[in-house]
Amino acid sequence: MAEYAGDALMICKAGFVYSEDFNSYRFRDDHPFNQLRVTMTKELLEVEQALQAEHFLKPRKATDEELKLIHSSKYIDAVKRASNGLLTEDEGMEYGIGTEDTPIFKGMHDASALLVGSTLTAIDAVLEGKYEHALNLGGGLHHGFERKASGFCIYNDGAVGIEYIRQKYNYRVLYVDTDAHHGDGVQWSFYDDPNVCTFSIHETGRYLFPGTGNVSERGLKEGYGYSFNLPIDAFTEDESFLELYESAFRDIVEFFKPDVIVTQNGADAHYYDPLTHLCSTMEIYERIPALAHELSHRYCEGRWIALGGGGYDIWRVVPRAWAQIWKVMTTNKPFAGSIPKSWKEKWQGKSPVELPDTWQDPSGIYKPIPRKDEITEKNRKVLEKSMQFIHNQKKYNNFT
């Protein structure tokens, strides 16, 4: 096992879960959720020679039994019927299927079960000890509920995966969700479970879906104190985002002392993302995996499983952001400099926007935010409130 080496280069053994069939999870041609971004990321990594044959892990499909770790039989049955066009519109509404967000498509059960299975493949790769880390960019569908599809998610692979870890390995799991939307499905699945700690940093739900993820959502019964939320203001920029993320992640990992870390790496907090209002740049997508990497080595003997998630500028943002996860996971150093020409040439024709030339964003991609100071101040208050629970305990422990 590699020792964490600070800023130095280090080589970690990691697995990359991938199948062309991820692309079968496709609602409609004009739907913002598009798994083509996974293929684009994979090819970008291949061109950079950061991804070779030995890294690939072939995903399996999740069984019904595994889906039932989180989802109800009736719901799974409804998804199966919808797959074959046998679900009526009224029946679908009850399960959130056939809405504008999660329309019915042929084969939706198989496509969704594959995404769950791919997360289980990543988990087994790490927890059976063959790999230190694993990345499954096909997963991270954090809005799926026990008996309801929502927010582009049918089955919740992260929640199924965490329950699978609990039952098969009995490890304490820290789930860290940096998608711009609140990781509600996973949070509610383990809201009363003290062995699963959920931490989500996201744009406040005042405007943005799903609307939840308040600081006051701390868990229930035995799970009280094991749910953390940092709802940050619209127009938050890199500095403030990273200040909150790094400070909270360090405090939470020290408080909870997990055996394994599962991260949901949605890439929709970028300024270019069409569905959200945050103002991040590529900077956060270097730091987000870097800290997860560091802390997984310090606290979990490296056990870290990273998943995909949201990300709706699939051209300029997602491939770069997700490639950096893999790069940091395997070498502890992000890419820098130019984006390979051959990759850009291949995809430019399909893209409605100019693809980026460099791994980092140039400065000035957006106009200065007039209320930056207020936003930073408000975000700090959010951090303070969210961490109060941990800080109070620390104080108490120091006194006794």
Partner 1 sequence: MLVEEVMKKDVIKMAPTETIGKALKLLNEYHIRHLPIVDEDNQVIGIVSDRDVRDASPSIFENDPDPEELKNEISSIMTSPVITVHPLDFMEEVASIFYEHEIACVPVTKEDKLVGMITEKDMLYTLIQLTGTNVQSSQIEIKVENRPGMLPKVTQVFGQRKVNISSVLIYPYKPDSRYKIIVFRIQTMNPMPIINNLKEVGYEVLWPNMPGMPS
Name 216's Cβ contacts closer than 8 Å, sequence gap at least 6.
none
Does residue 138 touch partner 1 according to CB under 8 A? no
3-state DSSP call for residue 262?
Answer: strand
Sign of the Cα pseudo-torsion (140, 229, 275, 269, in order)? negative
Question: Smallest distance from the beta carbon of 181 to partner 1, in angstroms?
Answer: 7
Site string for partner 1, 96-115 (x = CB under 8 A): ---xxx--------------
DSSP 329: H
Question: Smallest distance from the beta carbon of 57 to partner 1, in angstroms?
Answer: 29
The nearer residue to partner 1, 130 or 381, going by C-beta atoms, is 381
Interface segment toward partner 1; rule CB under 8 A; list 52-60, 156-164, 362-370, 387-395: 362-370
Q: Which of 106, 371, 391, 395: binder of partner 1 (CB under 8 A)?
A: 371
Does residue 340 touch partner 1 according to CB under 8 A? no
The nearer residue to partner 1, 98 or 117, going by C-beta atoms, is 98
The nearer residue to partner 1, 44 or 230, going by C-beta atoms, is 230
Question: Smallest distance from the beta carbon of 100 to partner 1, in angstroms?
Answer: 5
Q: Distance of CA 191 to CAs 67, 186, 221, 224, 264, Å?
A: 19, 8, 8, 8, 17
Does residue 178 touch partner 1 according to CB under 8 A? no
Q: Which of 8, 216, 370, 399: binder of partner 1 (CB under 8 A)?
A: 370
Residues contacting partner 1: total by CB under 8 A = 27
DSSP 5: -
Candidate list 109, 133, 143, 202, residue with the active-site label: 143
The nearer residue to partner 1, 115 or 339, going by C-beta atoms, is 115
The nearer residue to partner 1, 78 or 291, going by C-beta atoms, is 78
Does residue 26 touch partner 1 according to CB under 8 A? no
The nearer residue to partner 1, 3 or 100, going by C-beta atoms, is 100
In whole angstroms, what separates CA 166 from the centre of its chain? Answer: 19
Name 173's Cβ contacts closer than 8 Å, sequence gap at least 6.
162, 165, 166, 195, 196, 197, 258, 259, 260, 261, 262
Q: Which of 2, 10, 32, 50: binder of partner 1 (CB under 8 A)?
A: 32
Interface segment toward partner 1; rule CB under 8 A; list 130-138, 160-168, 193-201, 368-376: 368-376
The nearer residue to partner 1, 132 or 233, going by C-beta atoms, is 233
Q: Which of 23, 72, 212, 360: binder of partner 1 (CB under 8 A)?
A: 212
3-state DSSP call for residue 261?
Answer: strand
Q: What is the DSSP string of 140-204?
A: --TT-BTTB-BTTBSS-HHHHHHHHHHHHH---EEEEE-SSS--HHHHHHTTT-TTEEEEEEEE-
Phi, psi of 16 (to 5 degrees): -115, 110
Q: What is the DSSP string of 268-327?
A: --BTT-TT---BB-HHHHHHHHHHHHHHHHHHHTT-EEEE------TTTTHHHHHHHHHH
- d(Cα 222, Cα 220) in Å, to the nearest integer? 6
- d(Cα 85, Cα 44) in Å, to the nearest integer? 37
366's tokens = 């957006």
Q: Which of 36, 68, 91, 210: binder of partner 1 (CB under 8 A)?
A: 210
Q: Which of 36, 242, 275, 365: binder of partner 1 (CB under 8 A)?
A: 275
Q: Which of 128, 211, 222, 351: binder of partner 1 (CB under 8 A)?
A: 211
Question: Smallest distance from the beta carbon of 356 to partner 1, in angstroms?
Answer: 22
Give yes or no: 143 in active site: yes
Closest-CA residue to 245 (of 257, 253, 235, 255): 253
- d(Cα 69, Cα 161) in Å, to the nearest integer? 9
* Helical residues (DSSP H) of 213-281, grouped into ranges: 238-256
The nearer residue to partner 1, 207 or 224, going by C-beta atoms, is 207
Instruction: Specify the DSSP element, H or E, that contains 78.
Output: helix 73-83
Q: Which of 19, 34, 136, 150: binder of partner 1 (CB under 8 A)?
A: 150
Active site residues: 143
Q: Kindly list the residues in this chain that would bind partner 1 in the complex (CB under 8 A).
A: 32, 99-101, 143, 150-152, 181, 184, 205-212, 234-235, 274-275, 277, 367, 369-371
